[in-house]
């Protein structure tokens, strides 16, 4: 066996051709979050970064708007933006290497629903003071009461969103029966698709990620480089294992398949234990990542939960 064949069989196939078990994803995400907390901060800040990117769009349009979280720094020098870039890099690399990359089209109604769901997730994040990762996942691990409040809200929102999704699925199924009959008569011949070497593109994106991280390290911005790589690691685990907080809440009320929720709870339990050990021993400030708790956390969680279910993730 040649060296390249050995790596292909033992490393590539195991990492990118086989899907990772969901439980492995949950455990890895919990440990990555513990490590990132030790390094700098817990995983969070997805919505603050997205809000910052929205502000940049408004500023490009000539509107001067104050950022809702912290101060507005250029994306390449903002920790939360870099974490999100890492997440996108990691997910993209993983999808390309495993040949699962696909651009999917949706109907106009689907785009409107996606936009509305995203907007609701934005509103929910503001009410809570953080997104689902910061407000629920990392908050509970940090022993913040707000995390448990947001969980109640998320369950309520996912329940209502799930009801809507089931209603929509029945409606779609009724329509599908009719269009499929038409398609059988007038089905056009399928075009032969061009074969794209996605793993090669994935390798190219990995090199770009490595160069970007190296630039941060070589210019003394070690924290930025580290966070970029943490984000990428999170992205790879999310993509390979399909570990998804949204799915955990959604499936309880739609398919009634509760395995994703059980894995999510297990992941939070592992993280809570790890965070408490870190905080209790003074490795990180004890009061780090404690958010305001109140009715706003529950209402915000419900709006976020509803939005994430109708958006699909």
Partner 1 sequence: MLGAMLVAGLWVPLYGEQAGKGWLYGKTVFLHEKLGWGGSLISVLAILAAFYIFVTWLELKKR
Residues 6+ apart with CB under 8 A from 246: 132, 308, 309, 312, 313
- How far from 117 is each of 2, 7, 176, 217, 312, CA to CA, in Å? 50, 42, 24, 38, 9
- Three-state SS at 258: coil
Residue 53 found at the interface with partner 1 (CB under 8 A)? yes
Contact 237, 98 (CB under 8 A): no
Q: How many residues bind partner 1 (CB under 8 A)?
A: 60
Q: Would you give the binding string for partner 1 spanning residues 7-46, x where CB under 8 A is met? A: ----------------------------------------
Q: Which of 21, 75, 199, 294 binds partner 1 (CB under 8 A)?
A: 294
DSSP class per residue in 164-205: HHHHHHHHHHHHHHHHHHHHHHHPPPPPPPPP--HHHHHHHH
Q: Would you give the binding string for partner 1 spanning residues 136-175, x where CB under 8 A is met? A: ----x--xxxx-x---------------------------
Q: Closest approach of Cβ 219 to partner 1, in Å?
A: 28
Distance CA 136, CA 138 (A): 6
Nearer to partner 1, 226 or 307 (CB): 307
Nearer to partner 1, 202 or 274 (CB): 274
Q: Which of 11, 77, 119, 196 binds partner 1 (CB under 8 A)?
A: 119
Q: Supply the Cα-derived Rg of the chain in whole angstroms.
A: 21
Q: Closest approach of Cβ 286 to partner 1, in Å?
A: 6
Residue 132 found at the interface with partner 1 (CB under 8 A)? no
Residue 261 found at the interface with partner 1 (CB under 8 A)? yes
In 3D, which of 124, 132, 167 has the Cα closest to residue 248? 132
Q: Which of 25, 90, 117, 162 binds partner 1 (CB under 8 A)?
A: 117
Location of structure tokens 């160069």: 211
Residue 292 found at the interface with partner 1 (CB under 8 A)? yes
Q: Which of 30, 297, 306, 310 binds partner 1 (CB under 8 A)?
A: 297
Angle at alpha carbon of residue 303, lines to 124 and 288, rounded to 5°: 40
Q: Closest approach of Cβ 205 to partner 1, in Å?
A: 19
Residue 75 found at the interface with partner 1 (CB under 8 A)? no
Q: Which tokens belong to 205?
A: 């994106």
Distance CA 252, CA 246 (A): 10
Q: Which residues bind partner 1 (CB under 8 A)?
A: 47-48, 50-51, 53-55, 57-58, 65-70, 114-119, 121-123, 125-127, 129-130, 140, 143-146, 148, 252, 256-258, 261-262, 265-266, 268-269, 272-273, 276, 279-280, 286-287, 290-297
């Amino acid at each position: 066996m040649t060296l390249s064949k050995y790596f292909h069989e033992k490393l590539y196939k195991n990492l990118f051709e086989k899907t990772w078990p969901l439980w492995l994803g949950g455990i890895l995400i919990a440990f990555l979050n513990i490590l990132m907390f030790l390094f700098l901060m817990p995983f969070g800040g997805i919505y603050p970064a997205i809000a910052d990117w929205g502000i940049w769009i408004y500023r490009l349009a000539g509107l001067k708007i104050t950022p809702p979280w912290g101060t507005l720094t250029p994306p390449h020098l903002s920790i939360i933006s870099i974490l999100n870039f890492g997440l996108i890099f990691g997910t993209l690399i993983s999808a390309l290497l495993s040949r699962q990359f696909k651009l999917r089209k949706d109907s106009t109604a689907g785009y409107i629903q996606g936009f509305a769901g995203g907007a609701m997730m934005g509103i929910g994040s503001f009410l809570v003071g953080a997104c689902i990762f910061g407000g629920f996942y990392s908050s509970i691990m940090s022993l913040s009461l707000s995390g448990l409040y947001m969980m109640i809200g998320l369950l309520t929102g996912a329940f209502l969103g799930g009801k809507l999704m089931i209603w929509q699925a029945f409606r779609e199924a009724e329509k599908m029966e009719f269009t499929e009959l038409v398609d059988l008569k007038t089905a056009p011949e399928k075009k032969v698709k061009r074969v794209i070497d996605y793993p090669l593109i994935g390798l190219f994106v990995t090199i770009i990620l490595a160069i970007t991280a190296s630039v941060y390290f070589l210019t003394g911005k070690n924290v930025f480089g580290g966070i970029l790589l943490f984000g990428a690691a999170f992205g790879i685990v999310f993509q390979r294992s399909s570990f998804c907080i949204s799915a955990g809440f959604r499936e309880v009320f739609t398919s009634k398949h509760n395995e994703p929720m059980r894995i999510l709870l297990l992941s939070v339990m592992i993280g809570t234990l790890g965070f408490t050990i870190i905080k209790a021993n003074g490795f990180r400030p004890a009061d780090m990542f404690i958010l305001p708790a109140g009715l706003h956390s529950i209402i915000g969680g419900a709006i976020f939960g509803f939005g994430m279910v109708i958006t699909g993730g």
